[in-house]
Amino acid sequence: GEAVEALAGPLSSFQELAGVEGVHVVDRAASAGGDVAVHASHGFGANAYSFDDLLPLLTKRPDVKRATAHDHPGFGLTRRPERTRAYALGGDAALELIGDDSNRALFVGHSMGAVSAADAAIRRAEAGKATALAVIAPAIIAGSKKPALAPRKKRLAAVIARALALPFSLAVRSAGWLFRSRAVGWPLRLA
């Protein structure tokens, strides 16, 4: 309620995202008016303010239009949900915040947020939109023998290929390594 909103910064708002009310969002508009929208998803035990140093750097870039981050349900200033299922927004919140009006998108995910960022990036790339993915110490667990995950590996490989501008066959090998190992991350270069 009001007490939580008093803690929010001047760039904060509370929105309904993916059917969850009161999601805390930090939204930084860039002055340059580029065509890249960036969304950052925080890790377990963290919040949107984890990206307080990164978002201003990104919005100074001439190609960036805006940079957003949100608190996952039960973290930061987003209230704890009554239903357990509401804890998992997946990439829905990120996709809603990026919107359809951006030509290009970058999804950044740290730890648990890397799962949401990868989900959003895969879905946006599958829709044929320019998408990049940057993950920091991702909490993506590998080793599942479930056949249902095979298409996800291929989709993730496509996102990795686009993000890193690698030939698709190399990215497939990279995605295979990702799902055999416990985690992989790429540095986000600002230059």
Point out the least confidently predicted range of 37-41, 67-71, 87-91, 115-119: 87-91
Q: What is the pLDDT of residues 132-183, one digit of tens each?
A: 888 888 876 554 454 554 555 566 655 555 554 444 344 334 333 333 333 3
Q: Which has the higher per-residue pLDDT, 183 or 103?
A: 103
Nearest to 72 by CA among 89, 85, 84, 55: 89
Contact assessment for residue 76 and residue 24, using Cβ atoms and an 8 Å cutoff? yes
Q: What local confidence, expressed as pLDDT, does residue 180 receive?
A: 37
Strand pairing report for 20-29 and 64-70: antiparallel
* Neighbouring C-beta atoms of residue 31, cutoff 10 Å: 9
Q: What local confidence, expressed as pLDDT, does residue 103 receive?
A: 85
What percent of the chain is modeled with pLDDT above 90?
22
Mean pLDDT value of segment 17-40? 88
Please work out, in degrees rounded to the nearest 5, the angle formed at the alpha carbon of residue 19 by the alpha carbons of 93 and 23: 55
Mean pLDDT value of segment 18-31? 88
C-alpha dist (Å) from residue 173 to 32, 77, 114, 151, 166 = 38, 39, 20, 14, 11
Residue 40 confidence class, pLDDT cut points 50, 70, 90: very high
Separation CA 159–CA 105 (nearest Å) = 12
What percent of the chain is modeled with pLDDT above 70?
69
The DSSP H or E segment spanning 161 is: helix 150-164
Residue 1 confidence class, pLDDT cut points 50, 70, 90: low
C-alpha dist (Å) from residue 26 to 6, 14, 39, 77, 86 = 14, 9, 10, 11, 20
